[in-house]
Amino acid sequence: MDDITEYRLYTFGNFYLSSIQQGIQAAHCLGELFLKYTHNTPARETLLDWAEDHKTMICKNGGAQEQLRELIELFDTDNNQYPWSYFEEEEGALNGALTCVAIVVPDTIYDLGTSLARDYQKGLAHYSVDRNEDIFMYAKAGKSYVYNSFEDDLINTIMRSRNAT
């Protein structure tokens, strides 16, 4: 994914919480991100780039605890090069409930998701898949994207999650 120019932090909040509570849990999860990525790694550089130059947060409805656990399973893979974390409340507060999962992604992920969603709504399909090689490709208007199955799952997760309200 070349020419990365912008990052966004996507948070997925437990939908049993109110909007303000989801926002607070997103802030807790952001703190966990910085505690998790303390060493000089590409993921830390991405996180710092987001914090210094972009700061955009998108709070999404992550569903119930089970769906948030599924996000952790999705993000906790060697194929994931993006910084991510989660936050669980203390036992005494919310009985240890998982309240938020977060990930920082480059513009190519959300731009590609938007393009794919628009084309899908129009009945168009412009991408080809070679699952044997874990490679996806999408080309439109002279721009092409190559991405792996983790990124495809991430794009689908971001696009199908509703914004938190």
| Tens digit of each residue's pLDDT (9 = 90 or more) over 49-59 | 999 999 999 99
Q: Rounded CA gap, 38 and 33, in Å?
A: 9
- pLDDT at residue 88 is higher than 70: yes
Architecture label for domain 7-160:
3-Layer(aba) Sandwich (3.40)
**Which run of H or of E encompasses 134?**
none
Judge whether 30 and 102 are in contact, CB under 8 Å.
Answer: yes
Which sign does the torsion angle of CA 57, 105, 50, 140 carry? Answer: negative
Closest-CA residue to 161 (of 28, 22, 53): 22
Predicted local distance difference test score (pLDDT) of residue 58: 94
Predicted local distance difference test score (pLDDT) of residue 123: 67
pTM score: 0.84
